[in-house]
Structure 1
Amino acid sequence: MAPLRTWLPALGLWLLQAGHAHARAQGYTGADHPYKKEPEWDPFFTFGHHHPISHDGQTIDHFEVIGHPEILSDRVILTPPHPGNQRAAIWSDHSNHNEQWEFHVPFRASGPERAGGSLQIWYTYRGSSVTGTSSIYTAKPFDGLAIVIDSQAGRGQIRGYLNDGTTDFSIHHHPQSLAFGQCDAAYRNLGRPSDLKISYTHDHGLRVELDDHICFESNKIKLPNNYRWGVSAASAENPDSFELFGLKLALHKEWEDHHTDQHSDDHHEIHEDFHAEKEAKSKNREKKGEKPREEDIQKRHKEAAEHHARMADSKYRDFKSQYELKDEDATRFKDHDSQFTDLHLRMQALTHQLAEVQRVTGEISYNVGNMLDTMNEFFGHRDGSDGGQFEHTLKDIDRRMHHVDETVQNLERSLRHEGDKINRLNEHHDNLHHKVKDAVIAHGPNMGFSVSLLVVFQVMLVIAYIVYKRRRSISPKKYL
């Protein structure tokens, strides 16, 4: 019995570790939710799930970085804590093809007591080409959804905005009044990341949650796919620092409807049914010879290349026509009516596309004409009859340079003349003490003459005294 008691704790620990390893292999998230699976993240709209975020510290795979954020191994500091109205943004370079999704934005905001700034989560049609690093207060007309996190009157708020491309928020006197939903939220200086979750389904509509607490929701909002995700941040002179720990877009939401307080057996049965359905779908795809994941990856890589080509000019309009039709298998058309209908639709689509090409070509021609007119006005006409603004500017610069050159030459001559005067003055001061000595020696009185004059003066005094005494002695005396 003693060896059995000794081995029982080790055996229990081994079984527990084996159970955890099996749970992780199956995709479960932990002991709190033992049958809740980790969602499948779309790699084209996800970063921060694995570290480091960037391999070179400047770029993020499948995302476009605008501005000068600090990209660290585990986070992106959109607005560093430096004054000067910082702005930065991160935009996906792919369009979202998922009709139902769950978007997670783990972030952290910190700053002094009266700091200011805002964090925007965008889901728009044109993406960064229209919005870029704008905040909701400086945004030009966009088509899509914006979720804003900022402080108003000392209180943190989360607000939602919708725009169909006709409202200019940058000129509106009170953009807060345009929000379709809002809630108060404490998100600053928490010392931990906050998880903002934006989910959209056909049944429940749009839902915005912060740290698993519902902020606002609406089932009257319909959001199309093929829009682009983006996150932008802006800080005031006294800045808030917004740190982004990643972006995550969940592909599957089957586990969302299962409550954690159900019995484990029910969860196990649901989990088995889910895997059985998933295996059946995968077998059907294998029978049909489909490879949706590879095709999806190739399609998104192609779309990313097209997006980067469009980003060469931010004012370029999306070339993809709304009348574009998908390719269909020839076996689908079994009668003349379906063939004629498909041909008619494709001819109409071709006509619309040609009209769109003609419109874009006209715009390009108009822009090129304006550019040529501006260049002719700036550089002058080709026949040389009238020198344009550029030639006049060059002549004015040449005239000013000539004047500067003359001024410099005059200044150089004046300095040279003054330098000669200073040199002569220095030489005069250096020889002054020698000249004073010579003058004193040359013009000073002779020492012998001075002594002789003194002796003669003394002799004359003695003689005068003797004469005075003799006269007094021989003079008659008077007695009273």
Structure 2
Amino acid sequence: MRENMSVISLLLLIVGILESFAAEWNTKDYMKREHCLVKPYQGTGMTMPYWDFMGSTMVTNNYIRLTPDIQSKQGALWNSVPCHVRNWELQVEFKVHGKGKDLFGDGFVIWYAKERMKAGPIFGNQDYFQGLAVILDTYSNHNGAHSHQHPYISAMVNNGSLHYDHDRDGTHTQLAGCEAKFRNVEHGTHIAIRYEKDTLTVSTDIADKLGWKQCFQVNEVKLPTGYYIGISATTGDLSDNHDILSIRLFELDLPDDPKDQEDRSQIVPSAAFYDAPRERVEDAKQSGMSGIKLFLLMLVGALALIACVVIAIMLYQKHQENSRKRFY
């Protein structure tokens, strides 16, 4: 009996030691609940703890719909607590779906931005923002000879001076991108945005295989702490349902990171590398005539044709009148 008690005591001691090590190892590498949003979404009344929503956003028991499948809608969801984590991974489960078969849009953006709740033209958020935008674009406006299909995921880092150019699908300011066929998938789809030691990595799980597939990775990306996490979506002439199912942010435990204790609150967002811009068809054909010029030219031609017809009729009538006078 004493031997059994000794064995049990030894096992309990080992378990206790392992638990203490595990507790110490997990002090930082865990989910930050103030930056997460999981079911059930509702708090008291129509509010959600740590989150605000605006525009057409609708909260249900199973999803948060930023926009319905209706034209000209904007919706956004913003964390009310600034994120002071140095190294983090943000995981978002979402669904984009609608009735459109060939034409649909526009898409949504996952933000890590200095300002929150600012409606604007960039997928429902302001232009000239400061921070990081991961853009999930479902609509190609065909303004250029793109080497990729849509839906398309890309990233943009802005210090407040850059304009997101919808006419070029943002290709002149993107860090990197990849195709991702996440639209009209029956199950929830996932994206992971990992910011670790100034390296930005975006991965997806579109096939629901519980495994990440890297979309792109960009080094030397500088992001400050104290910015806000948000998601916004928009529809225009085309539309889709943009649904958010869950948001989870994990703080990464990187004891070997020499910059882990560095004050990052005042740095300016920046990136050392950008994708080479892809030229539009219009860029290569500057001699092409604009629609207004073509319309004016056609109008002048039509007026000239009408004037010629009127003059011809007048000359013909004058000729007939002169002929009658000679006859009499």
Do structure 1's residue 118 and structure 2's residue 107 form an aligned pair?
yes
Q: Distance in 2 between matches of 1:133 and 1:121?
A: 14
Matching of residues 3-18 of structure 1 within 5 Å: none
CA distance in 2, matches of 1:56, 1:69: 17
1:177 is paired with a residue of what secondary structure? Answer: coil
Q: Secondary structure at the match of 2:243?
A: strand
**How do residues 67-82 of structure 1 correspond to structure 2 at under 5 angstroms?**
67-81=55-69
Shift of 1:179: 0.7
Instruction: Give structure 1 regions of 4+ aligned residues with deviation exceeding 4 angstroms.
Output: 170-174
Match of 2:6 in 1: none
The Cα offsets for residues 97-133 of structure 1, whole Å up to 9 and x where unpaired, read as 11000001110111121211211011111233xx435
Residue 119 of structure 2 contacts residue 125 of structure 2 at CA under 8 Å; is this kept in 1?
no
What is the 5 A alignment of 1:462-473?
A: none
The reply on whether 1:99 has 2:86 as its aligned counterpart is: yes
Answer whether contact 1:139 1:168 (CA < 8 A) is retained. no
State yes or no: 1:167 paired with 2:162: yes
1:45 is matched with which residue? 35
Conserved in 1, the CA contact under 8 Å of 2:84 and 2:226?
yes
Considering fraction of residues, name the structure with more helix. Answer: 1
SS in 1 for 2:151: strand
Q: Which whole-Å CA distance do the structure 2 matches of 1:138 and 1:218 have between them?
A: 24
Partner SS for 2:222: coil
What residue in structure 1 maps to residue 183 of structure 2?
Answer: 188
8 Å CA contact 2:123, 2:232 repeated in 1? no
Aligned to 1:198: 193
Matched residue type, 1:155 = H
Counterpart for residue 228 of structure 1: 228
Residues 1:177 and 2:172 aligned together? yes
Q: Structure 1 pair 107/222, CA: closer, same or farther in 2 (3 Å)? A: same
CA contact (8 A) 1:101 1:201 kept: yes
1:137 and 1:170 in contact (8 A); partners too? no
Give the letter for the 1:108 counterpart.
K
TM-score by length of 1: 0.42
| Equivalent position amino acid for 1:40 in 2 | Y
Identity of aligned residues (%): 23
Q: Where in structure 2 are the equivalents of 1:216-365 lying within 5 Å?
A: 216-253=216-253
**Residues 64 and 93 in structure 1, CA contact (< 8 A), matched pair in contact too:** yes
Residues 45 and 230 of structure 1, relative CA distance in 2, 3 Å threshold:
same
Q: From the superposition, tell whether residues 171 and 241 of structure 1 become closer, same or farther in structure 2 (CA, over 3 Å).
A: closer
> RMSD value over aligned CA atoms?
3.0
The structural deviation recorded for 1:215 is 0.6
* Pairs aligned (count): 218
Aligned partner letter, 2:174: A
Please report how far the alpha carbon of residue 216 of structure 1 lies from its aligned counterpart in structure 2 after TM superposition: 0.7
Deviation at 1:180, TM superposition (A): 1.1
Higher strand share: 2
Whole-angstrom CA distance in 1 between matches of 2:64 and 2:134 = 19
Larger-gyration structure (1/2): 1
Distance 1:71 1:253 in 2: 33
Paired letter, 2:78: W
- Cα drift, residue 63 of structure 1: 1.1
TM-score by length of 2: 0.60
The equivalent of 1:85 in structure 2 is 72
**Which runs of 5 or more structure 2 residues have no equivalent in the other structure?**
1-14, 20-25, 143-148, 206-211, 255-264, 267-328
Kindly provide the amino acid, as one letter, of the partner of residue 98 in structure 1. Answer: V
* In 2: Cα distance, 1:220 partner to 1:61 partner: 34
Judge conservation of contact 2:58–2:65 (CA < 8 Å) in 1: yes
